[in-house]
Amino acid sequence: MQKRFNSTGVCVSRKHYMVDISNKLKEIEKLIDSEFYFTMNRPRQYGKTTTLSQLKILLKEKYLVISISFEGIGDKAFQREEDFSKVFMEVLSENMAINYENESERLLELSKSVNGIKDLSKAITKFIKETSKDVVLIIDEVDKSSNNQLFLSFIGMLRNKYLAREVGEDYTFKSVILAGVHDVKSLKLKLRKEDEAKYNSPWNIAVDFNVDMSFSSNEIASMLVEYQEENNLTMEIKEISEELYFFTNGYPYLVSRLCQIVDEKIYIDEKKAWTINNIEKAVKIINEETNTLFESIVKNLENNSELYDLTKRILIDGEQFIFNPLDPVISLGITNGIFKNGEKGVEINNKIFEEIIYNYMLSKIRTSTKNMSLYNFKANFIKENGELDIEKILKRFMQFMKEQYSSKDQEFIEHHGRILFLAFIKPIINGVGFDFKEVQVSEEKRLDIVITYNNFKYIIEMKIWRGQKYHEDGIKQLCDYLDIHSLANGYLVIFNFNKNKEFKEEKINVQGKDIFGVYV
């Protein structure tokens, strides 16, 4: 069977190219060996189910591993204690039927006398006591039922048995792993409509799960090596894996999907050695896709105005915030995979998410723009050699701002000016170009856009006017940034909010660099 890259469902080693996560599994195994209970809480499509599948294989010689999912139990089972307790026992039995037939039948027999949580606890005690191996329980998709009193009663029962086990007064699972997006240990639950949401999870016995489940560039390389060997190719594995990491920050779904795109969409009919350029093409393709992960990100931003505002301030306005996971808005962003703890504090998780969020915010800003399509017709800005005419683009944007936005729009421009420019330039580069943004740490809160179009590269810096001195310092920083990219030309879009401002353009030469800018 020819292996392939997989970005949907669980990854299976005999069918799919897979990252070597053996070191991560060993870390998790240590937690289990130490009899810890914990929640494997990570954002959606972060490889939780695949990790649990691999973990089960690793542990099967040492432990009796029962792995179930609350997604398959259904909502009806959570309506009555009796129903839940019986269904839970039946699901455990079904999971063990293939590999542990005798134990499965014994559990099914015990379930006949289970009519509630108390009976369930007794049945677990009897089952564990008579089992030859220590038993590890894994429950995936706990988010499906976590906002439920029965769920709290259930994990409260597991907590009580854990505490009794610690002092030799009960038999229970050696380790319990709850997997989901949220950390059940700090579950914020509203039990009744009239109640305020409270932190009331009894899962406070659980230890923190600190295993890094993102893929490092070296781990990504392990998957590429497998692909290379199976297809008899010679590739620059290190460079390609680092490029994949650069765009994804090791987010498992994104890594797998980019590889899948290169293999199935860029090289459709034959296997060829990959290049860095292939990865950039794949990034452009994925940024134009619709999938459940991207839809989830947009939904979370749409449903929480505070999260949307904080994301915009970080991504577009260049503001910096100290990484504090106890802050409820930051915590929400972390839980849903939008934020990470970066060098500058709270940052967007990866460059692909940056682009997805940009595009989402651009789509919202377009509804507030005035006649933009009259100014940014793509064909007007492409030179004969396929190069972008950036000066012409900036001049046209300045004209657009001057003619369409009067002083009465001042507040709108202060809040949305940068994203307005991104919305202006997007249709021009779309289909051929690729761009990413870098917030530069300075008093001016610069936002640099690096654009590749065909074989050309451009850097456009957006900043707010804060006086001549800051402006000169910023120009020098831009020159340094151009040196890093080996470019001789740079571009500026300067937003000036002074009452006596004028729309103007300027050309200057600093440190051998030609800088063209417009003031709007």
User: Which tens digits make up the pLDDT trace of 278-330?
Assistant: 998 999 899 989 999 999 999 999 999 999 999 998 888 778 899 999 999 99
- Among the ranges given (60-74, 237-251, 387-401, 440-454), the one the predictor scored with the smallest mean pLDDT: 440-454
Residue 508 and residue 515: Cα distance in Å, rounded?
A: 5
> Is residue 176 located within the same domain as residue 51?
yes
The label of the residue with tokens 């909010």 reads: 497
Dihedral of alpha carbons 128, 133, 134, 135, sign: negative
Provide the percentage of residues in the chain whose pLDDT is more than 70. Answer: 93
Q: Which of 211, 214, 219, 206 is nearest to 173 (CA)?
A: 206
> Is residue 356 located within the same domain as residue 402?
no
Q: Burial letters for 201-212: b for 16+ Cβ neighbours within 10 Å, e otherwise?
A: bbbebbeebebe
Q: Which of 294, 287, 286 is nearest to 259 (CA)?
A: 286
List of residues 6+ apart from 375 with CB closer than 8 A: 396, 397, 399, 400, 424
> Is residue 352 located within the same domain as residue 300?
yes
The helix/strand/coil state of 339 is strand
Are 491 and 394 in contact by the 8 Å Cβ rule? The answer is yes
Going by DSSP bridges, is the β-strand pair 64-69/135-140 parallel, antiparallel, or unpaired?
parallel
Tell me: pLDDT of 270 over 70. yes
The answer as to whether 496 is a domain residue is yes
Tell me: pLDDT of 446 over 70. no
The answer as to whether 234 is a domain residue is yes
Residue ending a domain, choose from 232, 264, 287: 287
User: What is the average per-residue pLDDT within 102-123?
Assistant: 95
How many structural domains is the chain composed of? 4
- pLDDT value at residue 470: 85
Instruction: List the beta strands (DSSP E) in 147-246.
Output: 175-180, 188-189, 198-199
> Is residue 58 located within the same domain as residue 191?
yes
What backbone torsions phi and psi does residue 368 show, to the nearest 5 degrees?
Answer: -105, 0
User: What is the average per-residue pLDDT within 446-455?
Assistant: 82
The answer as to whether 209 is a domain residue is no
- pLDDT value at residue 191: 44
User: What is the average per-residue pLDDT within 484-499?
Assistant: 90
The answer as to whether 323 is a domain residue is yes
The answer as to whether 347 is a domain residue is yes
The helix/strand/coil state of 303 is helix
> Is residue 193 located within the same domain as residue 224?
no
> Is residue 361 located within the same domain as residue 381?
no
User: Which tens digits make up the pLDDT trace of 123-158?
Assistant: 999 999 999 999 999 999 888 776 678 888 899 999
Q: Beta-carbon neighbour count of residue 491 at 10 Å? A: 22
- pLDDT value at residue 449: 85
The helix/strand/coil state of 183 is coil
Tell me: pLDDT of 442 over 60. no
> Is residue 31 located within the same domain as residue 59?
yes
> Is residue 520 located within the same domain as residue 382?
yes
pLDDT-derived band of residue 359, with 50, 70 and 90 as boundaries?
confident
Q: Which two tokens stand for residue 326?
A: 């106890």
pLDDT-derived band of residue 445, with 50, 70 and 90 as boundaries?
low
Average pLDDT, the chain: 89
Provide the percentage of residues in the chain whose pLDDT is more than 90. Answer: 65
Q: Which of 284, 429, 306, 421 is nearest to 351 (CA)?
A: 284
Q: Give whole-number Cα distances, 302 to 23, 305, 361, in Å.
A: 37, 7, 10
Task: Specify burial of residue 89 (Cβ count, 10 A radius: 0-12, 13-18, 19+).
Answer: buried
User: What is the average per-residue pLDDT within 437-450?
Assistant: 65
> Is residue 44 located within the same domain as residue 176?
yes
The answer as to whether 208 is a domain residue is no
The answer as to whether 10 is a domain residue is no
User: What is the average per-residue pLDDT within 447-460?
Assistant: 87
Residue 459 and residue 358: Cα distance in Å, rounded?
A: 18
- pLDDT value at residue 320: 87
Q: Which of 138, 124, 170 is nearest to 60 (CA)?
A: 138
> Is residue 311 located within the same domain as residue 230?
no
> Is residue 361 located within the same domain as residue 404?
no
> Is residue 187 located within the same domain as residue 144?
yes
Domain that holds residue 263: 217-287
- pLDDT value at residue 200: 58
Residue ending a domain, choose from 311, 336, 367: 367
CA dihedral 176, 180, 185, 188 (to 10 degrees): -150
The answer as to whether 4 is a domain residue is no
